[in-house]
């Protein structure tokens, strides 16, 4: 595992909400609230790679120059359905200029391989160096779904350093799989757990994130 490209965001607020998410006695409403609190912190951290420019503004006191996010760039949030949807509201709140590009995959329970059913990734990416991609999925278990999602953008020549994977919990096996395929893609997470079990679930994890978030 290349630890330099795995950023684990740790603070007491994240620890508290991770504990709530993991607890089997926390209901779906509690899981959703805890998840949103964590995703907001992760999204702020992920956005640190966005380019800045100087902008002259006038405050009530004087005219001066401050840093702001460059305007002529394409920011894309790509949630992997369905669990990745939990990031969407927070992402739009933090980065209202972002475009939401959903990616639909489900995991075959026998092979643990992703199966496609929906893809809203743009067909073309002119000036790919101006694209900044944030692929969201609460659980990085085997990493197979994220690898397929990354490949969609890699095929459009978007620089690997402009693609970030944001998850709440990750397994070492999934991280290694992603780094084997795409060694330059950064992974931002709140926790790296022990591993995955024979069913492909993260241990200790939180169970099926989609089921617990959406009460299904």
Enter the tokens of residue 7: 């950023």
Neighbours of 171 (CB within 10 A): 25
Summarize pLDDT for 153-210 with one digit per residue, the tens: 999 999 999 999 999 999 999 999 999 999 999 999 999 999 999 888 899 998 888 8
Look at the pTM and tell me if it is higher than 0.85.
yes
Summarize pLDDT for 90-118 with one digit per residue, the tens: 899 999 999 999 888 777 777 777 787 77
pLDDT band at 136 (very low <50, low <70, confident <90, very high): very high
**Helix, strand, coil tally for the chain in percent (to 5):** 40, 30, 35
DSSP output for 71-124: SSSEEEEEEEETGGGGGHHHHHHH-TTPEE--EEEEE-TTT--EEEEEE---S-
Q: In the prediction, which pLDDT does 214 show?
A: 84
Summarize pLDDT for 54-70 with one digit per residue, the tens: 999 999 999 999 999 99
- CA dihedral 113→172→135→79, nearest 10 degrees, is 60
Q: In the prediction, which pLDDT does 78 show?
A: 92
CATH number of this structure's domain 3-58+66-201: 3.40.50.2020
Map out the domains of the chain as residue ranges.
3-58+66-201
Rounded-to-integer distance, Cα 49 and Cα 45, Å: 9
According to DSSP, residue 48 is labeled G
């Amino acid at each position: 595992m290349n630890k330099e490209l795995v950023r684990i965001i740790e603070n007491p607020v994240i620890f508290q909400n991770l504990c709530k998410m993991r607890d089997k006695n926390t209901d779906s409403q509690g899981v959703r609230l805890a998840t949103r609190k964590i995703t907001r912190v992760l999204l702020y951290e992920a956005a640190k790679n966005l380019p800045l420019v100087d902008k002259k503004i006038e405050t009530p006191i004087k005219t001066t120059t401050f840093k702001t996010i460059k305007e002529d760039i394409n920011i894309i949030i790509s949630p992997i359905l369905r669990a990745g949807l939990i990031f969407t509201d927070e992402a739009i709140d933090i980065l209202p200029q972002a475009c939401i590009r959903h990616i639909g995959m489900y995991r075959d329970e026998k092979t643990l391989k992703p199966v496609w059913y929906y893809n809203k990734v743009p067909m073309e990416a002119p000036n790919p160096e101006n694209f900044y991609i944030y692929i969201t999925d609460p659980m990085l278990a085997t990493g197979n779904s994220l690898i397929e999602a990354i490949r969609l953008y890699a095929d459009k020549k978007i620089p690997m350093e402009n693609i970030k994977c944001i998850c709440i919990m990750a397994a070492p096996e999934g991280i290694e799989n992603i780094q084997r395929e795409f060694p330059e893609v950064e992974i931002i997470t709140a926790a790296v757990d022990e591993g995955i079990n024979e069913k492909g679930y993260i241990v200790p994890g939180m169970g099926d994130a989609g089921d617990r978030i959406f009460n299904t």
